[in-house]
Amino acid sequence: MNYLESLNPEQRKAVEATDGPVLIVAGAGAGKTKTITHRILHLILSGVHPSSILAITFTNKAAKEMRERVLDLMQKDPTSFSPRSGVPFMSTFHSLGVQIIKENSELLNLPRHFSIFDTSDSKKALKESIISVGLDPKEHLDKVRHIISKEKGRGVDFNEYNERAAYDYTSELTKKVWLKYEETLKREKSLDFDDLLLKTLRLLKKYPEVLEKYQNRFKYVHVDEYQDTNKVQNDIVEMLVAKYKNICVVGDTDQNIYSWRGAEIKNMLHFEKTYPDVQTIFLEQNYRSTKNILAVANEIIEKNSFRIPKKLFTLNKDGEKIGTFEARNEVDEAHFIAMKSKDLISEGVKPDQIAVLYRANFQSRVLEEAFLAYGVDYQMLGTKFFERKEVKDVVGYIKASLNEGSLSDFSRIINIPARGIGKTTLQKILMGKEEELPASMQIKLNNFRKMLESFKGVLLHELPSVAIKHIIKTSGMEDSYKTGLEEDTERLENIMELVTLATTYDIYPGEEGIEKFLTDVALTSDQDSLDGKKTGVKLMTVHSSKGLEFEYVFICGLEADLFPHSRMNQSKKTGEDAEEERRLFYVAITRAGKKLYLTHARVRTIFGTMEVNSPSEFLEDIPEKYTEKESYEGVGSSKAPLFSIDF
């Protein structure tokens, strides 16, 4: 068993603990993905059929990495790999939900090709719902969207909320908007992200035969990043494993940073109570970071109480001390980071191995300006390929062709490219008053619907890449972007890149390929926006950096009320909420391998107001023996404009 030789003793223990409940407490950089993938291989070599193994994670990127690693391990061991034996099911929670719902769609009165509302679709529908009840979406959209999402994550649907919610203003408003929103989803034969999990849970609860089918299919269940599960996700897992109890969860309470979107740290904290016969294994050896970086991380996180205690260690070198820099203002701070990045690159560091992490999105603007000023290539995480208009248009054609009830997609693409169908015409169509339209327009609409019907046939019978290429050409989109204008050329390149991407789904039989393509498109995360072809220093929020690693990391904006965020000061009485900011800082620190920089500004302009800041309390928690002050020769130069303030 050569595959076991590369594992440390605790990793091997986790790999060989195959039966019953297993809790793996895996610190940052401790090789948890390696452990999970080797465990899956070990199960297969022990006689477990690959199709009986389920591995769930949170992002497409993580699921893809896990899938590729497992396949690579299987192919290296001829005894474990056979084209006929199949492969383990490795997916995100939402992709699993899509699979279960599609296989049982008739029980939910849904078509097999139901549409999935992505974030922008949901926002648009909620906005329209708020307007329909006579309110201002600018004032209410974010609040109502958060309430609905959190309630669904707790397992509460509209009917339950309508019965149980308080009779205050916010609750009454939410009820009205939610009702309209549900009507939209039903009319469109669509589900939003939260529905993919809530509907799955309801299926498993309502239909014992459906539950048993999946219990027998997935006899060994793995859950990655278990500390990030919400109530619905945890309930789904508990139901799936109830028959055989072969559950292995991997996580780290110190990296629970998503309570604001429903993640419940208690799922992991109480795991040993839920499964009294659990085997608990600690992965504490870090392979990523230097001793100095880990020492600082441990100093920070040990101040928290709501955690499963552990202490990371490494056999790596002590490494450089943590660089600290106090800037006069945010511009000075940004120029220091850009200059340091340029120096590192000139010394041979790959730009992709440098990351700049910030607490809030607004901090990115001044950073971008500084990187442009110094001529340093950068890539900002968050500009999603699938959010580009032309790409959403092509996807809209696919969804409208497969799901006749998707009026939002129909509306989106009916005049793309321009067909002389204006808003008035579209309004009459949506109101069911097509008979009032001129005969020439009715002919035009009839031809358009025939085209969509033909696309449906192509999508269901041709390879995804072939079908999408056909749609781009036949719809007229391809020709519409052949104007010679630079922006149109870029749009054409983007939709052709969509065809290239679709080739990876050509391996699936029948309509499964296009279904998987649509699912992955809908469920993209921020990390999926990282373009592997584009090089440059990575700029992102700390939340977005979770699961990533870099050699050199800058954490900027370490000031009171910014990091930790001001909300921490408002919630100190609750304990758990206050500790999340510290966990967030811990996550940021542990992204770094070789060198960590911590920066803050004495003055920062936030939303037009100039504020004098105190350094973050986190900086005060770091012993001086681990740090060294950084200098910046550019202070006061033309490249580093400063505010005229005396200190």
The string of DSSP letters for 432-485 reads: T-GGGS-HHHHHHHHHHHHHHHHHHHHHHHS-HHHHHHHHHHHTSHHHHT-SS-
Instruction: Write out the H or E segment, with its range, that includes residue 327.
Output: strand 322-329
The string of DSSP letters for 250-286 reads: EE-GGG---GGGT--THHHHTHHHHSTT-EEEEE-B-
d(CA 631, CA 643): 19
Q: What six digits make up the tokens of 109?
A: 């009165």
Phi-psi region of 141 (alpha: psi -120 to 50; beta: other; left: phi over 0): alpha
* ∠ Cα 300 359 607 (to 5°): 140
Q: Active-site residue numbers? A: 32-33, 224-225, 255, 591
Interhelix angle for 169-187 vs 137-153, to 10°? 80
User: Is residue 374 a contact partner of residue 393, using CB atoms and an 8 Å limit?
Assistant: no
Instruction: Write out the H or E segment, with its range, that includes residue 601.
Output: strand 592-606
Q: Please, how many CA atoms are within 13 Å of residue 359, restricted to the half-sphere of its CB? A: 24
Q: What are phi and psi of 343, to 5 degrees?
A: -65, -45
Q: What are phi and psi of 553, to 5 degrees?
A: -130, 130
Residue showing tokens 């708020």: 130
- Residues making up the chain, counted from first to last: 647
Beta partners for residue 600, in sequence order: 326
- Chain-centroid distance of CA 315 in Å reads 32
Q: Residue 44: what residue type?
A: I
Enumerate residues 6+ apart whose C-beta is below 8 A from 375: 342
Beta partners for residue 611, in sequence order: 604
Q: What six digits make up the tokens of 50?
A: 């690959």
The answer, yes or no, to whether the previous bond of 88 is cis (omega within 30 of 0) is no
* ∠ Cα 351 355 358 (to 5°): 150
- Chain-centroid distance of CA 394 in Å reads 22
